[in-house]
């Protein structure tokens, strides 16, 4: 890559790892007059910026806010591509100053940014590879529930803060816990495995809700996924609630169609990243109380081999 080439030829990095957070702050301030907070956890850099007018009346992101978010992502891309720090992911967290309990989180993989610049992946694929969520600030949810208990017990403020600090304020262990609350950035060192697990669910949500054919067959309710390491490999676990809207689709078992689509999405992700360090994809259909299992090789080679679902998916009797 260009940055590796420059460093190998003796050129100093534009943004040395020793001063990386300060560099991000300075650029945001000098170019856009934005005061940001920056933290680095392992191979992940996080940028936090509160803004007024983040959300519109429908609790969607306002047009002005999109411009600001685009500028922040552009700065982050420039910096991670011109530093000698081993940054693999960057994460942007922003909240509306009027409603910090609600946050926007965007996570990007640096290799995806490089591949996009070299047109190795399309704009559409680049978009799919970006994790984007609007959610309730995880730490806010946690502390508010504890504070209600404190109110009932009439615990004094000093004791409240001590208990919260000792037992309820810790760095996140999963992606969904990332956020910012009351002056503290809750960021974790993101791994490729958990990023891919989250991407599988992200694409499931997009495809089952946006694709008209799928939306006519299924009602997507929710899904979550994790990668569970074991020894030198691991497995992907995906739980989902996707209701069947009808029994058959053109004479075909609609449940086979649903698992086909989930498997197609999982294949897109792992094959797109050439990721084979997993033994199984385990699916849990929460509406049917059923667990299904597919070997890693069958998931990875699904698009190429096009094996029938009934032959490669281990499912309970009567599921299909």
Domain of residue 87, residue span: 2-186
Using DSSP's 3-state secondary structure scheme, residue 66 falls into helix
Average pLDDT over residues 234-247: 92
Number of structural domains found in the chain: 2
Indicate whether 317 belongs to any domain: no
Condensed to tens digits (0 to 9), the pLDDT of residues 27-60 reads 999 999 999 999 999 999 999 999 988 988 887 8
User: Percentage of the chain with pLDDT > 90?
Assistant: 75
The answer on 281 and 230 residing in a single domain is yes
Looking at the predicted structure, is the pLDDT value of residue 250 above 70?
no
Instruction: Tell me the mean pLDDT in the region 108-122.
Output: 94
pLDDT band at 232 (very low <50, low <70, confident <90, very high): confident
- Assigned domain for 320 exists: no
pLDDT of residue 180: 97
Report the pLDDT value the prediction gives residue 3, as an integer from 0 to 100: 46
Q: Are residues 22 and 169 in the same domain?
A: yes
Q: Express each pLDDT in 281-308 by its tens digit.
A: 999 999 999 999 999 999 999 999 999 9
Rounded CA separation 190/106 (Å): 13
Q: Which of 24, 159, 164 is nearest to 92 (CA)?
A: 24
Query: Which residue, 200, 282, 167, is CA-closest to 234?
Result: 282
pTM exceeds 0.75, yes or no: yes
Percent of the chain past pLDDT 70, that is, above it, reads 95
> Are residues 43 and 147 both part of a single domain?
yes
Helix (H) or strand (E) holding 126: helix 123-128
Last residue of a domain, one of 147, 167, 186: 186
* Residue 148 and residue 6 in one domain: yes
**pLDDT value at residue 7:** 45
4 has pLDDT over 50: no
Q: What pLDDT was estimated at residue 249? A: 62
Higher pLDDT, 318 or 6: 318
* 79, 71 contact by CB (below 8 A): no
Sole residue written with tokens 């534009």 = 14
Last residue of a domain, one of 159, 186, 213: 186
203 against 155, higher pLDDT: 203
CA atoms within 13 A on the CB side of 150: 16
Supply the pLDDT for residue 266.
Answer: 98
Residue 166: predicted pLDDT: 85
State which H helix or E strand residue 222 sits in: strand 218-230
199 and 169 assigned to the same domain: no
64-75 average pLDDT score:
94
Is 274 found in the same domain as 150? no
Domain identity same for 165 and 212:
no
Final residue before a domain boundary, out of 161, 186, 211: 186
Give the model confidence (pLDDT) of 155-171 as tens digits.
888 888 888 888 888 99
Residue 259 lies in a domain: yes
Domain membership of residue 130 (yes or no) is yes
The answer to whether residues 60 and 126 belong to one domain is yes
Tokens of 151: 């109110």
The pLDDT score that the predictor gives to residue 9 is: 44
**pLDDT at residue 242, rounded to an integer:** 97
Whether 217 is covered by a domain: the verdict is yes
Classify strands 248-249 and 184-186 as parallel, antiparallel or unpaired. unpaired
Which of 111, 42, 24 has its CA nearest to residue 16? 24
Q: Stretch 208-226: mean pLDDT, rounded?
A: 94
pLDDT of residue 104: 96
Q: Is residue 318 part of a domain?
A: no
Task: Please check whether residues 110 and 171 belong to one and the same domain.
Answer: yes
Q: Is residue 104 part of a domain?
A: yes
Q: Is residue 197 part of a domain?
A: yes
Q: What is the mean pLDDT of the chain?
A: 91
Q: Are residues 205 and 176 in the same domain?
A: no
Q: Are residues 204 and 263 in the same domain?
A: yes
Same domain? 269 vs 241: yes
């Amino acid at each position: 890559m260009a940055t590796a080439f420059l460093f190998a030829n003796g050129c100093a990095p534009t943004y040395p790892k020793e001063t990386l957070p300060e560099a991000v702050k300075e650029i945001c301030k000098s170019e856009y007059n934005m005061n940001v907070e920056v933290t680095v956890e392992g191979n992940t850099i996080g940028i936090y910026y509160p803004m007024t007018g983040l959300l519109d009346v429908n609790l969607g992101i306002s047009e002005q806010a999109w411009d600001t978010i685009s500028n922040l992502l552009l700065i982050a891309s420039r910096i991670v591509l011109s530093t000698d720090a081993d940054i693999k992911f960057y994460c942007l967290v922003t909240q509306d100053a009027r409603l910090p309990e609600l946050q926007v989180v965007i996570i990007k993989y640096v290799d995806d940014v490089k591949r996009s610049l070299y047109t190795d992946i399309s704009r559409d694929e680049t978009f799919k590879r970006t994790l984007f969520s609007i959610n309730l600030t995880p730490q806010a949810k946690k502390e508010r529930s504890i504070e209600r208990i404190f109110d009932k017990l009439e615990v004094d403020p000093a004791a409240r803060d001590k208990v919260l600090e000792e037992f309820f304020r810790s760095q996140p262990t999963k992606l969904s816990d990332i956020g910012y609350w009351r002056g503290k950035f809750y960021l974790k060192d993101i791994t490729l495995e958990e990023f891919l697990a989250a991407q599988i669910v992200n694409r499931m949500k997009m495809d089952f809700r946006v694709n008209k054919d799928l939306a006519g067959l299924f009602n997507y309710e929710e899904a979550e996924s994790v990668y569970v390491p074991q020894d030198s490999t691991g497995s992907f676990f995906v739980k989902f609630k996707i209701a069947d809207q009808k029994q058959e689709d053109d004479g075909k078992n609609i449940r086979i169609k649903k698992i086909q689509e989930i498997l197609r999405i999982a294949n897109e992700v792992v094959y797109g990243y050439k990721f084979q360090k997993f033994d199984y994809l385990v699916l849990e259909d929460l509406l049917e109380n059923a667990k299904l299992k597919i070997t890693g090789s069958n998931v990875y080679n699904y698009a190429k081999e096009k094996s029938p679902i009934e032959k490669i998916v281990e499912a309970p009797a009567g599921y299909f």
